[in-house]
Amino acid sequence: MDQLTKDRWDRAARSFDLMAGYGPEKRWAPYKQEFFERMGEGRVLFLAVGTGLDIRFFPPGRKLVGIDISDKMLDVARPRLEAYDGEIDVRVMDVHEMPFPDDEFDQVFTSCTFCSVPNPVKGLQALHRVLKPGGELHMFEHTGSSYYPFRMMMDLMTPLLRARGTEMNRNTVANVEAAGFELREVKHVFLDVVKTIHATA
Ligand SMILES: C[S@@+](CC[C@H](N)C(=O)[O-])C[C@H]1O[C@@H](n2cnc3c(N)ncnc32)[C@H](O)[C@@H]1O
């Protein structure tokens, strides 16, 4: 397990809802609602549970495996996990070292995670491995921007935020293709910074 990343998120757990729960999460709520409507009835992997802010958007009655590297984030998520009208089997796990067999899942959902996974292409390759052939990857992610002023701002902010474990300027769409996925759809939620990415294994 990547101890540095785990420690960073363990430290963030207590203040995460205060930082993310009231501003950004309110802003993204309608888009996340629409995003998670694609969650089907097959075997679903969700990365990363965090404090469970996304759970209210899950359609009822689904059976998921939810993972996160930080047990402290999952401790905060507990009441939200218990309130879900379905099944979420939660495990503390690093996406780079998932012990699941190959071709295990029909769908993988990620939410606001690939700006902080240390090795994004390796992490995406790991998700590719556990998806069945033709299985679906659905991502709701912050990425770098192709618009000059935003790109410059993010390039400047990235070294400052890297110490907190967040990379602002990643090209996640290119990383998805580099990991072997076939891109199906990319939708911009806020400029080209917050986007949904849909791909198949
Ligand atoms: C910004 S939070 C997002 C949480 C939640 N999806 C949300 O939107 O509220 C990022 C989460 O990714 C988890 N994470 C970071 N790197 C990880 C890794 N390598 N494997 C599993 N989880 C990881 C962190 O512990 C944290 O809970």
Rounded Cα gap, residues 9 and 165, in angstroms: 8
Which tokens is 30 given? 């309608």
pTM above 0.85, yes or no: yes
DSSP secondary-structure letter at 18? I
Cα 134 to averaged position of ligand 1 atoms, centre (Å): 25
Going from N- to C-terminal start, the domains of the chain cover: 3-143+170-200
Rounded Cα gap, residues 90 and 64, in angstroms: 8
CA dihedral 67, 69, 73, 78 (to 10 degrees): 30
Q: Which residues pair with 196 in a beta bridge?
A: 140, 187
User: Which residue, among 201, 198, 199, 168, has the nearest Cα to 34 in the 3D structure?
Assistant: 198
Cα 61 to averaged position of ligand 1 atoms, centre (Å): 23
Q: What ligand 1 atom has the least distance to the C-alpha of 50?
A: 27
Is the CATH number 3.30.499.10 carried by domain 3-143+170-200? no
Q: Which residues lie closer than 8 Å to 149 by C-beta, 6 or more apart?
A: none
pLDDT band at 163 (very low <50, low <70, confident <90, very high): low
pLDDT of residue 97: 95
Mean pLDDT calculated for residue range 158-177: 78
- Say yes or no to pLDDT of 50 above 70: yes
Q: What ligand 1 atom has the least distance to the C-alpha of 96?
A: 19
* Phi, psi dihedral angles at 55 (to 5 degrees): -60, -35
Q: Which residues line ligand 1 (CB under 6 A)?
A: 2, 5, 9, 20, 47-48, 50, 53-54, 67-70, 73, 94-96, 111-113, 116-117
- Say yes or no to pLDDT of 135 above 70: yes
CB neighbours (10 Å) of residue 127? Answer: 24
- Say yes or no to pLDDT of 164 above 70: no
- pLDDT tens, position by position, 104-115: 999 999 998 998
Determine the length of the chain: 201
Q: What ligand 1 atom has the least distance to the C-alpha of 6?
A: 25
Residue nearest to atom 4 of ligand 1 (CA): 50
Tokens 């075997």 sit at which residue? Answer: 43
**77 within 8 A of 58, measured Cβ to Cβ:** no
Q: What ligand 1 atom has the least distance to the C-alpha of 166?
A: 1
- pLDDT tens, position by position, 173-184: 999 999 999 999
